Structure 1
Amino acid sequence: MTVSIELVPGRCEGHAVCEAIAPEVFQVDDDGIVQLVPGGDHGAETALAAVRSCPVAALRATP
């Protein structure tokens, strides 16, 4: 199942928990803000685990 992942503007604090869990989907840039990796596997269980693990709820996943 593929999901849509949304970045909540202004909420990311650069903890990089998402990147540590799912580096194929998330990357924290030089400014400390999460970005989606183009072509990343947004349906992977690890991507959903990363969304749920964000300490500041900067990510949302919808079907």
Structure 2
Amino acid sequence: MKITVDRVKCTGLGICESLAPDVFEVNDAGDLELKTEHVSEGLLADVEAAVAGCPTEALRLEKD
């Protein structure tokens, strides 16, 4: 699975970072950075929670 971010919608609230800190990080400028674009099985549940919990619907999971 691959993560995509709609940079127009993302406001850098950091909910995704709190749910999946191994994948998402909001930098000092308030911009979302992906630590990886491809999600391993072990992180999939956390990333799915982050996608579902994004209030701006800026995150999406897609099949590789």
Q: TM-score w.r.t. structure 1 length?
A: 0.82
Deviations along 1:4-63, whole A, 9 cap, x unmatched? Answer: 10010221111100000000000001111211114x771421011101110101111112
SS of the residue corresponding to residue 18 of structure 1 reads helix
Name structure 2 gaps, 5 residues minimum.
Answer: none
Q: 1:36 aligns with which of 26, 34, 37?
A: 34
Matches within 5 A, 1:39-50: 42-43=39-40, 44-50=44-50
Q: Which residue of 2 aligns with 1:57?
A: 57
Q: TM-score w.r.t. structure 2 length?
A: 0.81
SS of the residue corresponding to residue 13 of structure 1 reads coil
If each structure's helix is expressed as a fraction of its own residues, which one has the higher value? 2
Count of residues in Structure 1 that have an aligned counterpart in Structure 2? 60
Letter in 2 for 1:15: L
Name structure 1 gaps, 5 residues minimum.
Answer: none
Letter in 2 for 1:61: L
